[in-house]
Structure 1
């Protein structure tokens, strides 16, 4: 097939990699230097209509949309209007991620387990509600913030500061919700709006520093699979994924693409932290290397309402992703740091997340720069190989966490 992938980060590199290894011709816009080794890079304006026209011009059999901002901009709608199958939800359906206040109300309407919450469009009302609560408290910007619009406030003062930050822009909306205890896990569902296939569960590590401390980031490392009990997995399938898809259909918003459920394994069972409307980043860099079947075909089938979950196959191995982030991230990352990439072995991949080439030299160009991934028969081996590979990357001042995967040992001890 002719596959057009839209995006430029580590997630898109993983999507391109998965499609290319099945022998498809892959095009990508805007792409990055790592993607350029596997796909033909297309220079194009990034608005929805122009991208859809590009898909027509290049005779794309399917378009795979990576980042959430493109979904919210209506790229899937524009492609569909021109007869090009596009993998991802429509602009209206992507509201499940793009508007956390609406998403929480949706969960309440359909009985999907999540935290107690309240949504506010007025700062004074939000501050008044805050006075009725005790820390820790979760404060969320309802708008898209690339995975960084969440504050787990350990004090009232921190919660107040988070609200003031959210309401520093016009038309802001904030969600205040109870703090849930337990381990976080991500479960992704490939879906045609009705049928779905689950990926292996994975666990991201969101904060910048070890011990789950410091500011939130877009994700600093992933392990996959994360061990889930049969009971928890059944709850996720039957009380979260299936009713969410049914609820979206009932509200006239059929959801096709990737339904990403960010979950908390609370003492009362799995509850939704938030939904995303696309592959997670860096979860995609951990999950897609384990996919044994044809991603491009699954995306086409989902986009056209013909997904057969029995055709989706993942291997029995484990994967680990270590993010190398730029100095200064998640605040003001340093760009232009020279990068030297080592040779890689079987089962190893270095996905480009924020890189550029200048006069033939590879440099950092964003916050999260590289996603160093290893696949192995066991998770411990995958982690060891990923860290060993990360340590061979030449990247002055790189930030990385040395405790990726440590929560799984703690979970085993609890059980």
Structure 2
């Protein structure tokens, strides 16, 4: 199979790496890629937001499968353009991707499907926003209705901070606060059959102890020994399958990666959000533990034949990813800072480094975004994998580098 991965970040590097290790894959291409992806794939300078350009590249390369990584191209309809050329594409249609593109749409789908989630109010005017904050109370949860790269959510005890965020957005969803730990559960689906992956947990805030503002994710690990044994079965039954069935009923079937962000509350499992693609950074440890070849699962989901492929299998042990971010992240990012030590980290046993915001400046690897790298490690336990991952982090340096020191601590 010849494959093409669309995107530039850590998720796409992890996907391209997994496909490059798949014995059934003969070629891995990526567009536009990054320096890490270029080590495992042939990269092409194509605008990932242009459906016609991506489709033309896929047709010109004669690929058998296109994998669209990020949410923005999916919401823009890039997968539709690829399928119109008769090429299998892993990723939902523009209409189905609204599950991530609009929080209000997701709430409507969940209500119709009977999916347990937080009470919410969709607001556009200042009066509606103030009334919703007063009705649902503190801690206040305010979400930008559109795409915001994981940074459009404010959770705060301060009413003014919540109102300021709400007023800065056109349309927002104000929700009741959900207590309890959060879990990410991904599922591969062809629009009918749903195969859950194993649960993972990511760490959203910039600082240790979950301090500071939300980011796109500062680290993740899997498996979750503390999660209920029946969690996957429960979420498949009550969340994933009903959501897929409801979108099919509406005539907008969802084929691709359905990501359920969950809160394990005192009143039961609730959906915090849906995403329409592999999550970053949870994808990095999940793919490090995946024991099944990736391409048959993705191709079957893209072509409606998922029930004919075995469900995903998992290696024993655990995997941990620790994100290294540039100075100023998440409010801003520093670019052009020289990165050293990636080769040394990659050479450590059971460690590999995933590139996210990197670029080449001459012979130097430099920062080119907020989240720069993710150091991923596997081990016989979460503690072993965590130790190996932080050993890799210690080997890498760049000006202003920041990372959390408590990813998967005590797990």
SS of corresponding position for 1:394: coil
Q: Which residue number in structure 2 is paired with residue 146 of structure 1?
A: 149
The answer (yes or no) to whether the contact 1:322–1:372 under 8 Å persists in 2 is yes
Which ranges in structure 2 are unaligned for 5 or more consecutive residues?
none
Query: Per-residue displacement from partner, 1:353-392 (whole Å, max 9, x unpaired)?
Result: 0000011100000000000000111110000000111011
Match of 1:413 in 2: none
SS of equivalent residue, structure 2 residue 183: strand
1:260/1:279 contact within 8 Å kept:
yes
Counting only pairs closer than 5 Å after superposition, residues 275-294 of structure 1 correspond to structure 2 as 275-294=274-293
Q: Is this contact kept in 1: 2:129–2:163, CA < 8 A?
A: no
Which residue in 2 is equivalent to 1:412?
none
Q: Match for residue 33 of structure 1?
A: 35
Contiguous gaps of at least 5 residues in structure 1: 167-171, 410-415
- Aligned counterparts of 1:151 and 1:63: Cα–Cα separation in 2: 34
Q: What is the aligned length?
A: 403
In 1: Cα distance, 2:248 partner to 2:144 partner: 26
**Partners of 1:176 and 1:83 in 2: CA distance:** 41
Matched ranges for 1:136-175 at <5 A: 136-166=139-169, 172-175=170-173
Asked if residue 251 in structure 1 is aligned to residue 250 in structure 2, the reply is: yes
SS of the aligned residue for 1:262 comes to strand
* Distance in 1 separating the partners of 2:257 and 2:175: 25
Query: Which whole-Å CA distance do the structure 2 matches of 1:234 and 1:206 have between them?
Result: 25
What's the offset of the Cα at 1:121? 1.9
Q: Deviations over 1:119-148 (max 9, x none)?
A: 012222212332334210100001000111
Checking the alignment, whether the CA contact within 8 Å between 1:148 and 1:217 is kept in structure 2 is yes
Separation in structure 2 between the aligned mates of residue 358 and residue 303 of structure 1, nearest angstrom: 37
Distance change in 2, residues 1:178/1:221 (3 Å): same
Q: Which residue in 1 is equivalent to 2:56?
A: 53
Quote the Cα distance in structure 2 between the aligned partners of 1:332 and 1:148: 12
Q: Structure 2 CA distance, aligned partners of 1:124 and 1:211?
A: 35
Aligned to 2:315: 315
Distance in 2 of aligned mates of 1:249 and 1:115: 23
SS in 2 for 1:336: strand
Of 215, 219, 242, which aligns to 1:217?
A: 215
Which deviates more from structure 2 when the two are superposed, residues 390-399 or residues 31-40? 390-399
Q: Distance in 1 between matches of 2:222 and 2:47?
A: 35
The residue number in structure 2 matching 1:98 is: 101
Structure 2 CA distance for aligned equivalents of residues 261 and 311 of structure 1: 18
Q: 1:316 touches 1:377 (CA, 8 Å); kept in 2?
A: yes
1:158-185 deviations in whole A, cap 9, x for unaligned? 111111221xxxxx21000000000000
Work out the CA distance in 1 between the residues paired with 2:102 and 2:158: 26
The answer for the alignment partner of 1:336 in structure 2 is 336
TM-score (norm 2): 0.96
Contact 2:31 2:43 in 1 (8 A): yes
User: What corresponds to 1:200 in structure 2?
Assistant: 198
Distance in 1 between residues matched to 2:83 and 2:404, nearest whole Å:
41
Q: CA deviation at 1:76?
A: 0.9
- Judge conservation of contact 2:348–2:392 (CA < 8 Å) in 1: no
User: Could you tell me whether the CA contact under 8 Å between 1:225 and 1:319 is conserved in 2?
Assistant: yes
Query: In angstroms, what is the RMSD of aligned CA positions?
Result: 1.2
Residue in 2 aligned with 1:12? 12
* Aligned-residue offset at 1:8: 0.6
In the other structure, the counterpart of 2:228 is 229
CA drift at 1:73: 1.1
CA distance in 1, matches of 2:267, 2:239: 14
| 2:92 counterpart (89, 92, 99) | 89
1:360 aligned to which of 358, 363, 368: 363
- 1:43 is aligned to 2:45: yes
CA–CA distance in 2 between the matches of 1:165 and 1:257? 32
Q: CA contact under 8 A between 1:232 and 1:269: conserved in structure 2?
A: no
Distance 1:333 1:44 in 2: 24
3-state SS, counterpart of residue 253 of structure 1: coil
- CA contact under 8 A between 1:245 and 1:255: conserved in structure 2? yes
Moved more, 44-53 or 207-216: 44-53
Matched, 1:298 2:297: yes
> Any idea what the Cα deviations from partners look like across 1:247-269, whole Å, max 9, x if unmatched?
11111111111000000001122
TM-score (norm: length of structure 1): 0.95
Q: What SS does structure 1 have at the residue aligned with 2:209? A: coil
Q: Give the Å deviation of 1:405.
A: 1.1
